[in-house]
Amino acid sequence: MITYNHEKFIAQAIEGVVMQQTDFIYELIISEDCSTDNTRAICKEYKEKYPDKINLILPEKNLGVIKNSISTFKECSGKYIAICEGDDFWTDKLKLQKQVDFLENNPDYGLIHTDYVIVDENSKQLELFEPKYTENNTGGEVFELLLRKKYSLATLTVLFRGSLFRGFEKELTAMQLKMTDYPMWLEFSKKMKIKYMDEITSSYRLLKNSASHSDDIEKIIALNLNSLQIRLYFADKYGVELNVKKEIAQIYSNVMRDCFLHNKKLATKYYTKMVRTRFLSMLNPRPLFFLLGSKSLFFSRLIYKIQKTDSAFLRKHFSV
């Protein structure tokens, strides 16, 4: 568990871990990254309350998300590793037990993940995330689906073999990253099978501005371009072809959605960038819809109706 300025949420995150009912010993490793609020004090209180269960790491200076994440992984000595960042929380008391039981009984699997609920700052449920389309995918298929962004798993729901991280640690550290989870899932899915468990175990907190969400369009683009660099790295490593222009155009297509939500004035700029990258992307109706929605009240209302539809396909393409 890494945490920074999570004063409002860290207690709930820790409680979700220490409530776990298991027939094995587990350790919660928390790295508190020099928060400017009361997060560190709260972590110290929980360390005093659960001295045998919590290992609290207190860096002397702020490391940032990536360095803090990797350094915390290095402290994990257990057979299995699970992740819950300081603004998320687990809801199933048997999460760890169920996942460990599966991996213990299925040595060809390296990682197991589950469904989760998306909540707001006040823990109010916004949406249930159920990646049903992944249920029957096994083995090497998951690697290619992850690589092509057609497979989705949530970091706060995973449990994986510690040996997979230890075998990948040096390579992961050497990569230029804005995220650590995605490259791990790609590497792990190439080495071992991935299991999707059709149960809700966790709640993901959707905050206005966080490591993975922002109102800053340029920050969103940088994150997506870094994701593409990771995909290209693994495509080259394992001999898979990716159409770079098509992938970059898709990033700008997704940015059109973010422009509509956060800064409609930028919509034309990124539509032009998308078309310049790959002219054929003009045939994609979604970014055109968002461009029109940024300029026309009629199309804007139409997009809002689409976002509220019961169709999972439409919500997937028109909502965040």
Q: What is the pLDDT of residue 170?
A: 93
Give the chain's end-to-end CA distance (angstroms, integer). 25
Q: Which is it for strands 89-90 and 109-119: parallel, antiparallel or unpaired? A: unpaired
Q: Give the residue with greater pLDDT, 154 vs 304.
A: 154
Q: Residue 121: pLDDT band by 50, 70, 90 thresholds?
A: confident
Of the pLDDT bands very low, low, confident and very high (cuts 50, 70, 90), residue 217 is confident
The more confidently predicted of residues 274 and 35 is 35
> SS3 of 289, please?
helix
Can you tell me the distance from the alpha carbon of 218 to that of 65, in angstroms, rounded to the nearest whole number?
Answer: 19
Give Cα 151 to chain centroid, integer Å.
Answer: 12
Q: What is the pLDDT of residue 197?
A: 92
For 30, 39, 41, 178, 194, the CA distances from 11, given in Å and listed in that order, are 12, 9, 11, 26, 31
- Candidates 54, 50, 43; CA nearest to 12 is 43
Tell me how crowded residue 173 is: count the other CB atoms within 10 A of its CB: 15
Record the tokens describing residue 80, joined without a space. 């299995």
Dihedral sign computed on CA atoms, order 156, 161, 166, 172: negative
CA 248 to each of CA 150, 194, 228, 242: distance values in angstroms, whole numbers, following the listed order:
16, 28, 8, 11
pLDDT in tens, 136-189: 555 558 898 888 888 888 999 999 999 999 999 999 999 877 788 999 999 999
Q: Which CATH class is domain 2-205?
A: alpha beta
- pLDDT (0 to 100) of residue 274: 83
Query: pTM for this one?
Result: 0.83
Higher pLDDT, 298 or 92: 92
Q: What average pLDDT does range 54-69 have in this prediction?
A: 95
Please state, as a whole number, how many other Cβ atoms lie within 10 Å of the Cβ of residue 92: 19
Tell me the torsion sign for CA atoms 148, 149, 155, 159: negative
Domains in the chain: boundaries: 2-205, 243-318
Phi, psi (deg, nearest 5) at residue 68: -65, -40
* CA 253 to each of CA 97, 219, 231, 278, 289: distance values in angstroms, whole numbers, following the listed order: 41, 15, 18, 11, 10
Residue 55 φ/ψ, nearest 5 degrees: -110, 110
Choose from 106-110, 216-220, 238-242, 257-261 the range with maximum mean pLDDT. Answer: 106-110
